[in-house]
Structures are given as structure tokens and as C-alpha cells.
A = this chain, B = another copy of it.
Amino acid sequence: MATAMEPRKTDIGPPHYEKFLPPIIKQNYGKWKYHEILKPGVMVHVGESGDKLFTVRAASPRLMGTPKIRKFAELADKYCGGYLRFTSRNNVEFLLTDEANIDPLIADLQGLGHAVGGIGNAISNIVHTQGWVHCHSAATDASGVVKCVMDDLHDYFTGKEIPGKLRIALACCLNMCGAVHCSDIAILGIHRRPPKIQGGLHKVCEVPNVVASCPTAAIRPATVDGAQSVEIDEENCMFCANCFSVCPALPMADALNDGLSIWVGGKVSNARAEPRFSKLAIPFLPNNPPRWPEVTDAVRNIVEVWIDGARKYERMGEFIDRIGWPKFFKLTGIEFQKEHIDDFKYAGLTYKRSAQIRHP
């Protein structure tokens, strides 16, 4: 089916990672013995051979232009034989063998505006998504909110002590590309208005698919102005936007009503408590660009309650397990509302089915 005659390479897959491993890693691959955190953002891994690999981790906005990437490449050339990597939370890691290079590298990074930190019990980068920069589905911006929250929590990235790891994530709509559903603190963009049905729906969407997409069966086929379309039982809409995912003629975004919600207590590691979902802490905060003060305040408040109360290694969810949800609401001052009570399909399993209660 190829239309051009020139040879065309496909299915070559990614470059083999070995090409990008520094020699010290090749030599100690699978033979690391232990690691130590030397200072904020700096750790050393010691091989069984005795070899030492130093890692310096720098903050990243994730959304970067080629000029910045070239600058990181330059720093890698200058200090680490040209080797670097990115982390699963989008930070940049420089891989050094010469301990003496650590401080100059840090100085250069800081000069570039990229703080060093995030290792150990710290608040690391916020996993996040596209927002208004690139996605059609966004109920809020992603990078903007992240910037504001990390500005505010910056000290906890660069070394201010906290009890354990704290992972924040943001997703700009319920699709949750940032997979925020298992984070210590999750920030989630939400719509709060049913989709607005556009004329000509039948031209761009299959009505049966649209009807089938709705988890709450709020969408019914209907004839509008003589054309096939749908009608929406607004009472039954919980704003998931799945209909919009399958049909562009059902836009959800609404400047007046879109906003954010805050979730707490999830984790993914198996350390101590099993992995678990985050739970709703604050049902709604307004979109207030450019600095989203309601969001930064809310996150800081929760972080501080955790820092004040958590024991060593205790993640947010483990901390709340210990003190109980009523106490969490009390300590944070968050008002408990109807919205906190689950009413989706497993709702009954979230009700308190025992008399084990802390009475005031």
C-alpha cells in the first residue's frame, strides 16, 4: 500500500537502552549493593565492586522547549560524560562518577532555574497532564496549577523535612491521564454541567454509541429539528464526559462551572499498607487562574496537617487510617458534605458498617 518508492523504515522500536547507559552502569548493572542519600537531591549508589554512582536530581516543568533540553545535554556533557535520564515523575537525573562535580552541577542547575531535590522523604514533582495547552477535554489547566502548587511547596522539594514520601498528581479531567487515583494528594479537574448538545450531532457521531457511552444511562435518542440526535436527562448526569470522548458534538467545558477537586490518601507502593485509591477531600474549588490560590492553599493545608501529625514513614493514607476520617476533617477544617459520600456502584461498601467509632 506504500505510495512512495523510497525505502521507509517502520517497526524498528525504540533505541536499545544499552546505547545510553554510562560505562559505570554497564559495569555494575544488576550489581548495586546499597544507596545512601547524601543531601537533598543527591544520592550515591555503591556497587558490589565498590564503584560509586552519584545521582543529582533536578526539577522539571515537563513541558520543555528544545533550548532547555539542549542546555541539559550541555550540562551532561560538562559533568557526566554526556549521560542523563528522566524519572518516572519527570525529573531530570544526572549520573556522575566524580563526586567533585556534584556542587558545580547543582550550581549550574540552580542558575538555570532548576532546583535540586525530590529524593527520599520529599515532595517530588507533580505527575500531570495537558490541560489547556493541548487537550480538548480539560476542565482546568495542568501545567499552570502544577507550577503554582510546586512554587508553594518548593521547600519540601529542596529538603525541608517531612515524615515520608508525599506524591501529588494532577489530571485535568476524569480520564485521569495523570492516573491521579492513587496519589497522596490528587488534584482533579472536573466539569459540573451536562454536555451541551450541538446541532448536527448525527453528522459526526453514531447515536447508539453515544447512548451506550453513558454510565448512568442519562442519554436517550431523540429527534431534534427533524434530525437524529440525543437528549440528556440532566438529573442523571454526573459529568464524567465519557459521551464527549466518543462524540465531539457534546462539549462539556463550561467556564462558569469547571473547576477542581482534591483527593487524598492514595498510594501505589506495597511498602507497609497495600496500594489504594485516593479519596475525596474537597469536592469543588473554582478555576482561578493564573495562580489558583484556593488550590494552593488547600493543598498546603492538607500537607501541613499531615506533617504535623504523621509518624515517620507514614504516608497520607496510613496517617488518616490511624487518626480516622472524622479527625482528618476536623484537623483540616474541611466541611463534610453529601458529595463525600459515595453513590456510585460500590457505594454501600464505603458506608461505616460497624459501631467502632471515636466519640468526641
Q: Give A residues with C-beta under 8 Å from B.
A: 270, 274-275, 345-346, 349, 353-356
Contact = CB atoms under 8 A, between A and B. Distances in A.
A234 B354 CA distance: 38
A270 B354 contact: yes
Contacts of A356: 270, 274
12 contacts: A270-B354, A270-B355, A270-B356, A274-B353, A274-B354, A274-B356, A275-B353, A275-B354, A345-B345, A346-B346, A346-B349, A349-B349
Nearest to A353: B275
Given A274-B353, A274-B356, A346-B349, 9 more contacts: A270-B354, A270-B355, A270-B356, A274-B354, A275-B353, A275-B354, A345-B345, A346-B346, A349-B349
Contacts of A355: 270
Contacts of A345: 345
Nearest to A277: B353
Nearest to A348: B346
Contacts of A346: 346, 349
Contacts of A270: 354-356
A331 to B, nearest CB: 23
Contacts of A349: 346, 349
Query: Nearest 3 A-B pairs (CB), nearest first?
Result: A274-B354, A270-B355, A275-B354
A75 B153 CA distance: 77
Contacts of A275: 353-354
A355 B268 CA distance: 10
Nearest to A274: B354
A356 B274 CA distance: 7
A346 B344 CA distance: 12
A9 to B, nearest CB: 38
A270 B352 CA distance: 12
Nearest to A345: B345
A116 B356 CA distance: 33
A275 B353 CA distance: 7
A52 to B, nearest CB: 30
Nearest to A272: B356
A173 B127 CA distance: 52
Nearest to A352: B274
A182 B275 CA distance: 27
A359 to B, nearest CB: 13
A326 to B, nearest CB: 16
A141 to B, nearest CB: 32
A258 to B, nearest CB: 30
A356 B345 CA distance: 27
A95 to B, nearest CB: 28
A346 B353 CA distance: 16
A274 B352 CA distance: 10
A356 B271 CA distance: 9
A270 B353 CA distance: 10
